[in-house]
Structure 1
Amino acid sequence: MPIPVGTYYQKKELGNGTVATIENNVVDTVTAGEEINFGVAVNIKDGKAVTATSAPIMGIAIKRNRIDGDDYNALPDDKFKAGELIGVLRKGGISVPITTDVSRYDFATINSDGTFKTAGAGDGVVGRFKTDGYAGKTAIVQVELTDMGITAPASDNSGSNNNQPTTKQDTQPTTTDKGGKQ
């Protein structure tokens, strides 16, 4: 097995969607509902992953470990196809495409195409940048996404196709008399 050397295999910055930390990560597997680029923010629509257009987000698409093409030149156009199972990072550090220069510890938010930028006043924060980065390149963003603090929309947007009410208890709870016997 060859030993990776410097920039032989990629640029200095990590590629979009590369898990960037060795901490415990939380990753969900979701079916893509459309073509999704590596490293972009995703949300759930009709139970499938779609590119997020605003915060809050469900997670960030993790790149695959292979090229879906005939040769190495297919790499720049590679992305997840609709119907493909994808990994979505919900907790951890990941390399993401950025559209503005960012500084370490800046709050991160997303653009309407799922790419990342420094959060401004009134923007929904999805994480913090862990590295500096130049516009058009990548930076590592740290996320710990939960659904806490999110207000549910008027329509059901749970993403689940299994929205059945929970079953009620079949019997009444056991009670005790004054003597403590059942």
Structure 2
Amino acid sequence: MPIPVGTYYQKKELGNGTVATIENNVVDTVTAGEEINFGVAVNIKDGKAVTATSAPIMGIAIKRNRIDGDDYNALPDDKFKAGELIGVLRKGGISVPITTDVSRYDFATVNSDGTFKTAGAGDSVVGRFKTDGYAGKNAIVQVELTDMVITAPASDNSGSNNNQPTTKQDTQPTTTDKGGKQ
């Protein structure tokens, strides 16, 4: 049996919804509540997966390993159907559709159609891009979704600064020293 050469059968970049890392991934299985494209962000509504319209998200739809059609040309229109069980990635790296140019390590957020973009100031962050990408193409996003809402900082999208929130001490330190006597 010959060893397949990947570039003969697909483009160099991974397709939407392709798990992109070999690390341990966390995947939930959920019933689709509507048609869902591969690689888009999903949320849960009435116990079923729907395309997310904003962050926070439940996860990202993983593509299936077969075409739901008669021939290879059916691939561009393939998506999950309502009622179908789908894999939803909650932790790991996955190839997603992007609508803006992105750079490696940019914070990622979700558009109203479940696709991804670079997070702006005040946007809820769902992960970080692990690769560069051009608008209308794909990029790999790394997620570790914990159902917590995190917003992008107003000053810097890189997350590499040391501007961490601080808390003031709300009480004065107590001392037991009373002029040298105890």
> Do they superpose with TM above 0.5?
yes
* Cα contact 1:48–1:159 (8 A) shared by 2: no
Q: Please state how far the C-alpha of 1:4 moved relative to its aligned partner.
A: 2.6
Q: Please state how far the C-alpha of 1:5 moved relative to its aligned partner.
A: 1.1
Following the alignment from structure 1 to structure 2, what is the Cα–Cα distance between the partners of residues 103 and 2? 37
Q: Please state how far the C-alpha of 1:148 moved relative to its aligned partner.
A: 3.4
Greater displacement, 153-162 / 109-118: 153-162
Following the alignment from structure 2 to structure 1, what is the Cα–Cα distance between the partners of residues 105 and 165? 42
Question: What are the ranges of 5 or more consecutive residues in structure 2 without an aligned counterpart?
Answer: none
After TM superposition, the score normalised by the length of structure 1 is 0.81
Q: Secondary structure of 1:94's match?
A: strand
* Cα contact 1:44–1:159 (8 A) shared by 2: no
Q: Please state how far the C-alpha of 1:110 moved relative to its aligned partner.
A: 0.7
The structure-2 alpha-carbon separation of the partners of 1:163 and 1:129, relative to structure 1 and needing over 3 Å to count, comes to closer
Q: Please state how far the C-alpha of 1:168 moved relative to its aligned partner.
A: 41
Q: Please state how far the C-alpha of 1:170 moved relative to its aligned partner.
A: 43
What per-residue deviation string (whole Å, max 9, x for no partner) do you get for residues 149-177 of structure 1? 58999999999999999999999999999
Following the alignment from structure 2 to structure 1, what is the Cα–Cα distance between the partners of residues 90 and 20? 13
* Cα contact 1:47–1:160 (8 A) shared by 2: no
Aligned match of 2:41: 41
After TM superposition, the score normalised by the length of structure 2 is 0.81
Following the alignment from structure 1 to structure 2, what is the Cα–Cα distance between the partners of residues 150 and 135? 24
* Cα contact 2:122–2:154 (8 A) shared by 1: no
The structure-2 alpha-carbon separation of the partners of 1:68 and 1:107, relative to structure 1 and needing over 3 Å to count, comes to same
Greater displacement, 171-180 / 2-11: 171-180
Following the alignment from structure 2 to structure 1, what is the Cα–Cα distance between the partners of residues 80 and 57? 18
Aligned match of 2:142: 142
* Cα contact 1:45–1:157 (8 A) shared by 2: no
Greater displacement, 112-121 / 151-160: 151-160
Q: Secondary structure of 2:173's match?
A: coil
The structure-2 alpha-carbon separation of the partners of 1:171 and 1:79, relative to structure 1 and needing over 3 Å to count, comes to farther
* Cα contact 2:55–2:124 (8 A) shared by 1: yes
The structure-2 alpha-carbon separation of the partners of 1:36 and 1:165, relative to structure 1 and needing over 3 Å to count, comes to farther
* Cα contact 2:102–2:132 (8 A) shared by 1: yes
Q: Secondary structure of 1:75's match?
A: helix
Question: What are the ranges of 5 or more consecutive residues in structure 1 without an aligned counterpart?
Answer: none
Following the alignment from structure 1 to structure 2, what is the Cα–Cα distance between the partners of residues 120 and 93? 21
What per-residue deviation string (whole Å, max 9, x for no partner) do you get for residues 34-84 of structure 1? 000000000000000000000000000000000000000000000000000
Q: Percent identity?
A: 98
Following the alignment from structure 1 to structure 2, what is the Cα–Cα distance between the partners of residues 81 and 96? 19
What per-residue deviation string (whole Å, max 9, x for no partner) do you get for residues 15-39 of structure 1? 0000000000000000000000000
Q: Secondary structure of 2:7's match?
A: helix
